[in-house]
Structure 1
Amino acid sequence: MRKKLSLFATLCAFLLILSSCGTKLAAYDPKEPLGKQINYTITGIDAGAGIMLSTQKALKAYKLDKANWQLQTSSTAAMTSTLGKAIKDKRPIVVTGWTPHWMFTKYNLKFLKDPKNVYGSAENIHTIVRKGLKEDKPSAYEFLNRFNWTKNDMSSVMLAVNNGESPEKAAKKWISKNPDKVATWTKGIKKANGDKIKLTYVAWDSEIASTNVVSEVLKTLDYKPTIQAMEIQPMWASVATNAADGMVAAWLPNTSGIYYKDYKKDVEDLGVNLKGAKVGLAVPTYMKNINSIEDLK
């Protein structure tokens, strides 16, 4: 028994020594090649996200794959956490970024120029509903058809959630502070009678914000909404197969383009609910000499 305890103590001491020997990663050095400083790695999010598919195309289009660059799959939460830690120490980092998102409000970031236009021009976020919703739930259909807001609106909800509020509470606060805008969505709409309605969304910060706001407004119209997070392809499939009533999370024409092509005949596109969304690669602004994807080479 004593030998086991002694071995355990020795192991703990060894691990403690290793942890104490860890060194702080170096700050960004504009005189050194960027790839070498970050192990030729772009920090990404979920593998199935449209921005990840576009980034894989960018690696080939700019021949970064031949220069040992790679795309690291993680999650939105992991990516933003890594970004925040890097910014705290002014270390170099390249991430898959998009706006609206709270990270562009909280941190000083910039998109890298994309001269080959791999990521496309600015996108819009659309509202997509199942066929037959207008006949089955006319009040919900009319509200979803009217729903639209700005990047600043969405960012304020996202930032509140990032600061610790629950998505539901953040949505309620935004609604209480913006009664005039909400009125343009709901004025004259007949209330339901406790009808159930299901919305799906991708668990991105932007879509968590918009879906929770829509859900809370539906409650004021006497609906009983259910919201469910899914991966992007099942989200589209759920609406196309009537398993869900709708979603306000369709980034078009690029991010969700492949899914729109597959399912457009089976859904109804109610149009844009947010204009001027953007996706691409982003870096902190202190990386002054990195301004284009071409600069990564």
Structure 2
Amino acid sequence: MVKHWKRLGLVTGLSLTLVAAGCGADEEGEDAGGEDDNGDAEETEEDEDDEDDDEDDDTSGEASGNYGEDVEYSITGIDGGSGVVQSTEDAIEDYDLDWDVQTSSDAAMIQELDNAYQDEEPIFLTGWTPHWKFQEYDLKILDDPENSYGDAESIHSIAREGLADDHPDAYQIIDNFQWDEADMEEVMLEIQDDVDEVEAAQNWIDGNEDMVSEWTDGVDEDAGEGESISLSLVAWDTEIASTNVLAQVLESVGYDVEQNQVEANYVFASVADGDADASTAVWLPHTHADYHEDYQEDYEDLGPNLEEGAQLGLTVPAYMDIESIEDLQEE
């Protein structure tokens, strides 16, 4: 039995228009150090190479500068209280950028991204991985030498005290559950494409039987017959994907699994108090650091189910000629 509560979205976005800078054609030189018919020194190949390098540098700088100019230095994100918007505001300050952050909705962000992508126009997203958009579109997170967005995070699983004794087979599966961001994004993308959450999870399981068999190694196919397991999650797309996959695997060996979508603080409180058996939704060391510090003595941290695959950052399509947030700084 699966209980579905109110979902909470978490996405960001921003659209931009690009003015591309062109390069002039190179002139071919003749013998180095020679003179032309008028007695003037001829341009050497080395001189031409230096000029070409200068042109490339000027072009790159011009393109990066135009990104901000063309969109009036406006960045669009999700709700103002979100961590990714705060990190973007930090980046604006850290890199001394004269940009503004504008809030938006999930649907608006995706529409802006799709519009820009179809025409190969530039767009900046205050994004993060895992997210299904990285499966749907060819995107990249810009380098962040100031570390405004923080280091990559891991997503941990936690279990209530005593779960290993009460339900050892369920505990083993939850403890063994581990995948990467591409796996998670595959499930998220199917759900985004209007595939039922349970069906999307089962589709992924069917295509990854070798990995799933490692989670269930040694567990009898009817190990959980007549027993119930409850999982708490914050209703982000990432956790909806991971929790449904884990729930389907637990149900495949007989457990009746209940999913409770709750606010982030109750994910921790419910497992600490024993109201829930486990959760796969703990982002560390940054996003959920305060909650983890408050409750970590009252539950068992099983470690990452997705290791260092969660990353906030200023995100752009791969076709954009920019690699670092520093490239947006005015000369």
Q: For this structure pair, what is the TM-score category when the shorter chain's length is used for normalisation?
A: 0.7 to 0.9
Say whether the 8 Å CA contact 1:50–1:256 is kept in structure 2.
Answer: no
Q: Are 1:111 and 2:101 an aligned pair?
A: no
* Secondary structure of the structure 1 residue equivalent to 2:115: helix
Say whether the 8 Å CA contact 2:16–2:116 is kept in structure 1.
Answer: no
Give 1:197 deviation, angstroms.
Answer: 1.9
Distance 1:244 1:250 in 2: 14
Which residue in the other structure is 2:3 paired with?
Answer: none
Which residue in the other structure is 2:231 paired with?
Answer: 199
Distance 2:245 2:123 in 1: 32
Change beyond 3 A, Cα 1:26–1:58 = closer
Distance 2:276 2:296 in 1: 15
Give 1:71 deviation, angstroms.
Answer: 4.7
* Residue identity matched to 1:181: M
Q: Are 1:35 and 2:65 an aligned pair?
A: no
Deviation per residue, 1:32-52 (Å, 9 max, x gap): 643343343333335554434
Which residue in the other structure is 2:167 paired with?
Answer: 137
Determine which of 259, 265, 270 is the counterpart of 1:227.
259
Give 1:200 deviation, angstroms.
Answer: 2.1
Say whether the 8 Å CA contact 1:126–1:251 is kept in structure 2.
Answer: yes
Say whether the 8 Å CA contact 2:227–2:255 is kept in structure 1.
Answer: yes
Q: Are 1:246 and 2:272 an aligned pair?
A: no
Gaps of 5+ in 1: 1-24
* Residue identity matched to 2:313: G
**Percent identity between the two aligned chains:** 45
Which residue in the other structure is 2:249 paired with?
Answer: 217
Determine which of 117, 120, 125 is the counterpart of 2:155.
125
Give 1:157 deviation, angstroms.
Answer: 1.6
Say whether the 8 Å CA contact 1:108–1:285 is kept in structure 2.
Answer: yes
Distance 1:108 1:194 in 2: 45
Change beyond 3 A, Cα 1:85–1:238 = farther
* Residue identity matched to 1:34: Y
Distance 2:16 2:288 in 1: 37
Determine which of 74, 81, 86 is the counterpart of 2:105.
74
Distance 2:278 2:78 in 1: 24
Change beyond 3 A, Cα 1:150–1:141 = same
RMSD (Å), alpha carbons: 2.5
Flag as ranges the 4+ runs of structure 1 deviating above 6 A: none
* Secondary structure of the structure 2 residue equivalent to 1:149: coil
Determine which of 171, 195, 217 is the counterpart of 1:165.
195
The 5 Å alignment of 1:37-76 reads: 37-47=70-80, 49-64=82-97, 67-75=98-106
Which residue in the other structure is 2:179 paired with?
Answer: 149
Which residue in the other structure is 1:83 paired with?
Answer: 113
* Secondary structure of the structure 1 residue equivalent to 2:248: helix
Gaps of 5+ in 2: 1-14, 21-62
Give 1:128 deviation, angstroms.
Answer: 1.6
Structure with greater helix share of residues: 1
* Residue-pair matches, total: 269
Determine which of 270, 279, 283 is the counterpart of 2:316.
283
Distance 1:152 1:68 in 2: 32
Distance 1:258 1:61 in 2: 24
Looking at CA atoms only, which structure, 1 or 2, has the larger radius of gyration? 2
Change beyond 3 A, Cα 1:115–1:138 = same
Change beyond 3 A, Cα 1:136–1:82 = farther
Deviation per residue, 1:262-295 (Å, 9 max, x gap): 332232110111223122110112321x322233
Give 1:139 deviation, angstroms.
Answer: 2.0
Give 1:162 deviation, angstroms.
Answer: 2.4
Give 1:73 deviation, angstroms.
Answer: 5.0
* Secondary structure of the structure 2 residue equivalent to 1:124: strand
Give 1:159 deviation, angstroms.
Answer: 2.2
